[in-house]
Every structure is written in structure tokens, then in C-alpha cells.
Structure 1
Amino acid sequence: MKLPPVAGTPTGRRFQLAALLKHLREERVMTQETVGRLLWPGARAVQNKLTRLENGDSAINQRDLSRLLEIYQVLDPITVALAMRLCDGTSQRGRWRGYRASYEKELWPYIDLEEDAEQIRMVGTEQLPGLLQCESYVRAEFGMTAPAGTVDAAAEAVRARQAKLLRPGRPAEIYAVLSESCLRRVRGNDEVMHEQLEYLLELSYRPNLTLQVAPFRSPSGTSAAGLLERFILLRLSAPGVISDFQQHLDFVFTRVGGRLTSGEDVHAYEDLWRGATSAGLDPERTRRFLREVSRGYRYLSKEPHYADRT
């Protein structure tokens, strides 16, 4: 019996299980209130408990999960095994050590989902997304206000994330649209910015990463409405969910308040994403633009660089 692949992190598995359980309930055409009273007879606010479970906001133990699958009359052994596997190993205890300890607890769900995502779409304004920052840029960014030890930890954390997500063979497709402001706002000094531009050029040649820059003056005159806010869209697989309405799980992470949300909030950001990509140069013109900006910083660098590519 071969199960479909599941998320590698507790957060990802919790959301995948939530989607599967919601799908099974809807297949049985049962309300949350009805299911909640069957699963937790005598308990209060049973609909709220099931809502939290189906939103991925709470976990479920295996005993209650077995009972829930009985209520849904799930007889397929693969679906049962999949649900049990998603339920297992959801504890976060002991995971947030090493480079992970650099992140605030509020960011843990995002860091996990980023690792599990099959698609990552980023919009950057003023500041480059962390996944695209070179080490000197990270150090310049944090070094303005943070102690040296914190800067070292931040640089290590970024390197570790990049090693996971940008490594060869990584299945995730990564898309990034950057406002020209990301390239013009100097972090550290011109030498740091030169190195950062070179790094972006190097990344732009990776097969699983598509990079666009939206210049201040768009050649096509397209509105850059999608570049008014920094945000990241994450897409995960939804194993076991076979539906015309939900083939995957979508989340949006916004830097305003550090919020990670799903559901209706995603739709508005999908519109912003379309606006951002429309305003951005295509990948080859983006590389030419990056080379042009890089030449402005070049005199401080003596290393071979991607700006010389033709």
C-alpha cells in the first residue's frame, strides 16, 4: 500500500490533515454541529472545536481521529492510513533549535510551510525577501540595530533556509517580483549592493526560480498596484483531497503584523500577484536590468561577476 507524499513538518501535516477531514465531512454532506455532537457527546461548543480542527488551528489525537473516520464511514485503507500518518508526529517539541532558534515563535508556522511548499511566490518592496538575500546583505540589514551574535545567527538562519529551498533537485517552484526600490535602497554600502545584485543574477539562472523586476517606469505603462505591499504566497499539496474546488492548500504571509492566513484572504493577494507580474519585466529583460544596476556598483568589486554574461 503506497501512500501519497505528505508534508515533512508538523505544521504542514496539520494543515493537510485539516483539509482531508473537511473534505471527508463535505463528502458525507454533514454539518460541523452534527459531527461535533457525534464525536464529543456532551461537550460544549462542539462546532467551534471542529471548525478549529478543519482550519488547522488545533490537533486531534488518534483515538478521536479513528472515531471521526468511523463517523465519515471511511473504509478505504489508504485514506485511513493517510489520515493516521498525518496525525502522527505533529509535536513541535525540540525542533526550534540551531538556526531555527533565530526566528520568533510567531514565524514558526511560516518557516515550516515554506519548507513544505511546492510553490512560493514573493513580492518584494524596499527590502529583498530573505530567501534571496546574500550573506553580506543580511549582515548589513541586521547589523544596523542588532548585536554581533544576533547578526551571526541571522546570517546562519538565512543560509540554512536557502540550502533547503534553493538546492538542486528541490521540487518547489519559486517566483519573485521585486520592485526597483529593492535594488536602489542601499544596505551597508555599494560593495554590499554589488554583491547582492550579482547573487540575484546567479539565482535567476536556476531552473526552479523565476525572477522579475518591476522598474519605477514600466515600459508597457502597466500599473504596479501589486507592488504596494510585501507578501508571500505559499502553495502546498492536499493529499487525499480529490475535489474540483480544492486541489491544493494556499496561504498568504504578510509582513504587516507577520500574519499567516488562508481562505478568503488569499484571493485578494492573488489579484495583487497578477498585478505585480504584469508590471514586472520578463526574466531576460530582468537580467539585463540587473546587469545595468550592478555596473553602478561594480568599481568596488574585484571578483568575476554575472553582470559580464551576455
Structure 2
Amino acid sequence: MPTKTVPLLMLNNELHRLKRKSGIKDEETARYLGCRGTKISRIMNMASRPSVADVKMMGELYGASPEQLAMLMDLARNLGRKGDWTGYKSVYRESARLLIDMEARCDQLRRAGVNMVPGLLQTEPYVRVLSRLMARFGFTFDEDDTVQARLARQAVLHGNVKASFILCESALRRVFGDRTVMYGQMKHLLTVASQPNVEIQILPFAGTGGQVMYSWLSFALIHVPSRGISTPLNFVHLEQFDDARFIDDPDLVNSYERLWSELVAASLCPMESVHFIGKMVKEYQ
């Protein structure tokens, strides 16, 4: 199965939308392309990548306009290559590669973290500690590659993305490494929070924080803008022990949107959060 990428998701969404509108069945599509029905099924289920020629013929059959057809073919030409995940990037598991691609292409990213600082906000010493801990569970990637991959991923925060983070107080108090590591991590949070495109809010133990249902969940809301006339992507990312789950069902995405709103309301405002992190710097000093 090919690595899922943002262009592949957008292409798949557009093909499904055009197919539903046309009412054409897979059997008819297979006859038109001169192939077996299993090939069409694999394309529509993202089990195999379609060629540009396949996409052109499918778009024409489904009644795509010239503008839509051009967009579909552009997506098909940019589905990604195996070489995109070599070198230090090979540390990313298959499930993480779609997340990395989404982060690089999104214009809005919101992430809630409970027990540890999210990867986009981690310092090198913090990453090294986590890498050594992960090795106990069979994740034996090269430590330097892990650090390089994590720090390279953070470049998205210096682009045009609007990034918002909600960190539970436990993420600041749970010590990974030693106090020196945590001191550097808290200082880094202050630096990142000073960027105009980044907001960090702290969900404290005291106050209203404990009254938010599901406040123990770590998740991300990711919005990827459309390319031309294609449909934008709205996903929820849930990280699990050895895998990840991506949710795009509109009702479920809306549920996580409501949860995010409740977390924002229960958290300290960005200015108060900076003050709170500043106190943590002094505690670890």
C-alpha cells in the first residue's frame, strides 16, 4: 500500500465526489479504462496509486470540467516518491508520514498535549531522552536521525501556519531527563510562544481545568487548504502506542472542535500561560 500523502487524499476525495455525482459504477469505469474492476477498487481505496493517464480517463468519464481535470492531473503528478522518506526521514513510521505531510501543507494546526510536550515544541535534549525511552519498546531508530527528523519537522512553525497548542500542566511538570533538560524545554516554550503565528495555552490543575470532559485526550486538528478548486482537508489526528488514527468524518471532527473550544475556555489565556511557563522556568532553574 502506498504511503498516504496530502495530494493522494485530495485526489481520492475529488474522484469519490465526481464518481458519486456521476452515478457511474466501478465496473463501467473498469471497462472504460480497459482494466479489471479490482484495479479501480484499489485506486478508490488508496491501496494503489493511479497513473496520470488513469486519472485523466476517470476524470473524463466522471464528467470533470477542464479546470477540474487539470487539477486532478496535477495532484496525480505529485503523489510523492519513495525517496521522500530516505535518510533521517526513514525514522518516521508509515502512520507518521501522513502527519508530517499534513503539517508541512496545512495553514492551521491545533494540538492538545497532556503528559508530554508535543513534538513540534520539543528541544533536542528532550527528544534524545524520549528516543532512549522508546528504545525500551523496540523502537530502535538511530538517535541522531530521530533528533534531526524532529527538529526538521519543527520548521513548519516558521512558515505561514497558524499554530495553537494547549498543554496540560502535567506536560510541564512531568520530568523527562533531569531538571536541566526541563529548564531548557521551558525556556524553549517561551521562545516559541513569542512567535506571532504561535499560541500556547496551559490547562492548569487548579481552577476550571478539571471540569472539562476528555481533557486527558491528546489530539490535533489539522486544516489543509484546497489546491485550486479541490476540497480542503479537515482531519483529527490521534496518536496511539504503535500507530495513529486520522479522522475526517465531519460529525466526529465537529465533536473534537467542540472539545477544543472547551479546552480553550478552561485554559489560561496566552499571556497568563507565558507567565505560568515563566514560573516553571524558575522552578527548574
TM range (shorter): 0.7 to 0.9
Which residue type is aligned with residue 247 of structure 2? S
Tell me the CA shift for residue 50 of structure 1: 6.4
Question: Counterpart of 1:3?
Answer: none
Question: Counterpart of 1:248?
Answer: 232
- Give matches, 1:150-165, under 5 Å: 150-163=142-155, 165=156
1:16 paired to 2:10? yes
1:296 paired to 2:283? yes
- Give matches, 1:234-273, under 5 Å: 234-241=222-229, 248-257=232-241, 258-264=243-249, 265-273=252-260
Tell me the CA shift for residue 91 of structure 1: 4.0
- Alpha carbons 1:19, 1:241 under 8 Å: kept: no
2: CA distance between counterparts of 1:49 and 1:153?
34
1:60 paired to 2:50? yes
- Give matches, 1:69-218, under 5 Å: 69-76=59-66, 78-144=67-133, 146=135, 150-163=142-155, 165-167=156-158, 170-218=159-207
Tell me the CA shift for residue 115 of structure 1: 1.4
2: CA distance between counterparts of 1:144 and 1:44?
47
Going from structure 1 to structure 2, the CA distance change for 1:215 and 1:100 (only over 3 Å counts) comes to same
Going from structure 1 to structure 2, the CA distance change for 1:188 and 1:95 (only over 3 Å counts) comes to same
2: CA distance between counterparts of 1:185 and 1:10?
34
SS across alignment from 1:142: helix
Deviates more, 1:81-90 or 1:284-293: 81-90
1:281 paired to 2:265? no
Tell me the CA shift for residue 45 of structure 1: 6.1
SS across alignment from 1:235: strand
Which residue type is aligned with residue 129 of structure 2? A
1:229 paired to 2:214? no
1: CA distance between counterparts of 2:256 and 2:213?
11
Q: Identity of aligned pairs, percent? A: 27
Name stretches of at least 5 consecutive residues in structure 2 with no aligned partner: none
Tell me the CA shift for residue 239 of structure 1: 2.5
Which residue type is aligned with residue 119 of structure 2? G
2: CA distance between counterparts of 1:48 and 1:80?
20
Which residue type is aligned with residue 142 of structure 1? S
TM-score by length of 1: 0.79
- Alpha carbons 2:16, 2:44 under 8 Å: kept: no
Which residue type is aligned with residue 105 of structure 2? D
Tell me the CA shift for residue 38 of structure 1: 2.3
2: CA distance between counterparts of 1:175 and 1:188?
26
Question: Counterpart of 1:305?
Answer: none
| CA-based RMSD | 2.6
Going from structure 1 to structure 2, the CA distance change for 1:44 and 1:75 (only over 3 Å counts) comes to closer
Tell me the CA shift for residue 123 of structure 1: 0.7
Tell me the CA shift for residue 288 of structure 1: 0.8
Q: Deviations over 1:153-187 (max 9, x none)?
A: 22111111112x122xx111111100000000011
Tell me the CA shift for residue 151 of structure 1: 2.4
Which residue type is aligned with residue 250 of structure 1? N
Going from structure 1 to structure 2, the CA distance change for 1:20 and 1:144 (only over 3 Å counts) comes to closer
Name stretches of at least 5 consecutive residues in structure 1 with no aligned partner: 1-8, 299-310
How many residues are matched?
A: 274
Tell me the CA shift for residue 48 of structure 1: 4.6
1: CA distance between counterparts of 2:57 and 2:119?
43
2: CA distance between counterparts of 1:207 and 1:57?
40
TM-score by length of 2: 0.85
- Alpha carbons 2:112, 2:167 under 8 Å: kept: yes
Which residue type is aligned with residue 68 of structure 1? M
- Alpha carbons 2:43, 2:49 under 8 Å: kept: no
Q: Quick check: which one's helix share is greater? A: 2
SS across alignment from 2:22: coil
SS across alignment from 1:123: strand
